[in-house]
Structure 1
């Protein structure tokens, strides 16, 4: 299949191609408009302009969404390559910047973003006041290659060759509850004795019960006191005594409202990795924030 520019077309507009690419990735104009920070009518005009330039139909409307035509599928492969090349150009240019000012975006999980990062960001700002820190606090993995963040704090080691990774430390997580709640249970010395306790579930009921079974703890629906998806909500529910919750030990051990349910028991171990794109590592501001972040997290 070939797609040709109209004879009277003078140029290929990358903004129109990018509008098409993001719309194809998101599946609807409304979702793509949110990603690009445009209004839906503006985005629609850009996609329509590309269709006129190429003299093809790229999308068909299906319900509230869009589906690619054969021409759209063919073009998507090429525009995706263009998008990746544009990202590499942007990363390379950013990597050459030696300015110690501007914005550095850090992706981090919800609970660390809320309870650990504020003090670290304060330290970074004290040392480098010209740098603006943007925090993306989400348990979804940010794509560094698509510039969704400049630096990521992760509990796993990324495998992409384009990324630079540094292992900061090994962490442990365990069960926590308020002293008043633990008094209602009586002495707890083994994981199996937790079968009579109530828990603040993190995620769906089925997923949580399956995860606990993997740790040797058999629970039923009756053991679930509260269901929630957000890590911060889960922790706040634990702190007021609604049941037993799970937290990293550097957070749980420093919270005066709770204590370990089984003092010497580690429920789960996980690493803390710091990651950035290889080309960004040559940027002075990225390098400074990366090193300050690594130092602070290691403590």
Structure 2
């Protein structure tokens, strides 16, 4: 089919693109902030406009037809162009008002950023911070966030990154757990001590062992994919947890344990898209975060 000769409705094309990438109407509707019936109508309207079926149903999943696969190649190019236009338009904005999406880990979002965001609101009350609290790395190219706080330096040349802080992570427990135990006897003999692990467990055990703490599978009585949940379990006396100094410093009462455990050096990178960095409101938020989270190192 000669796709170039067809005039597309971008809303319908975007509905098709996100549905193809997400695999289900429900997931695509969540990604676009639409109701599932609305999204379904847009996809159906595009199929009627083209006169072809773009998807086949397989249970709850949708599978692209040959025509859908062919169209997908073309609309991905359109989608990338639309994202570039959005980035450029946002980058040229000189208004100190509007939304700025900031992505950070869940523990950073819960324990450190609220005060920083409150201070920013006093400085720029017309800027609305949309905080994405997730341990998954947001895709800045696809505008999942405008600014990301990461522990690794991005390799994408389209991104601007600044190293704003280096800190250490240690092992902590509540005073109640330290009193009741069981506590580790030493780095090489953790005994029956209980640790709170982050998923996946095998990686966590390997990580501890590389740092000299010879834990076993049996030492991990609790496992979670949430840093906030792990820290709260430690605060309530369930076991020992590894956490960064910036979190521990704002959590009164937690006790650092096993001082011989080598501190884990953690970098903090503040990252945004190079074009977004020219937006006054995004630059304002970026600079405020950089100053509040540590400023220059050295």
2:241 pairs with 1:239: no
Out of 199-208 and 13-22, give the one that drifted further. Answer: 199-208
Count residues with an aligned counterpart: 295
2:27 pairs with 1:31: yes
CA contact (8 A) 1:199 1:243 kept: yes
Q: Secondary structure at the match of 1:193?
A: coil
Q: Hey, what's the Cα distance between the residues in 1 that align with 2:4 and 2:80?
A: 22
CA contact (8 A) 2:184 2:193 kept: no
1:88-167 alignment runs, 5 A limit: 88-167=84-163
Provide the residue aligned with 1:58 in structure 2. 54
CA contact (8 A) 2:182 2:192 kept: no
CA contact (8 A) 2:212 2:261 kept: no
CA contact (8 A) 2:213 2:261 kept: no
Q: Hey, what's the Cα distance between the residues in 1 that align with 2:152 and 2:4?
A: 46
Taking structure 2 as the reference length, the TM-score comes to 0.92
Distance 1:244 1:28, change over 3 A: same
2:45 pairs with 1:49: yes
Among 178, 200, 206, the residue aligned to 2:202: 206
Q: Hey, what's the Cα distance between the residues in 1 that align with 2:4 and 2:83?
A: 25
CA contact (8 A) 2:196 2:223 kept: yes
CA contact (8 A) 1:102 1:130 kept: yes
Among 53, 72, 77, the residue aligned to 2:73: 77
Provide the residue aligned with 2:190 in structure 1. 194
2:285 pairs with 1:283: no
Q: Hey, what's the Cα distance between the residues in 2 that align with 1:65 and 1:83?
A: 22
CA contact (8 A) 1:106 1:151 kept: yes
2:27 pairs with 1:22: no
Q: Hey, what's the Cα distance between the residues in 1 that align with 2:77 and 2:180?
A: 61
- Give structure 1 stretches of 5+ with no counterpart: none
Superposed CA offset, 1:130-159 (max 9, x none): 211110000011111111111000001111
Q: Hey, what's the Cα distance between the residues in 2 that align with 1:251 and 1:194?
A: 24
Provide the residue aligned with 1:222 in structure 2. 218
Q: Hey, what's the Cα distance between the residues in 2 that align with 1:260 and 1:139?
A: 24
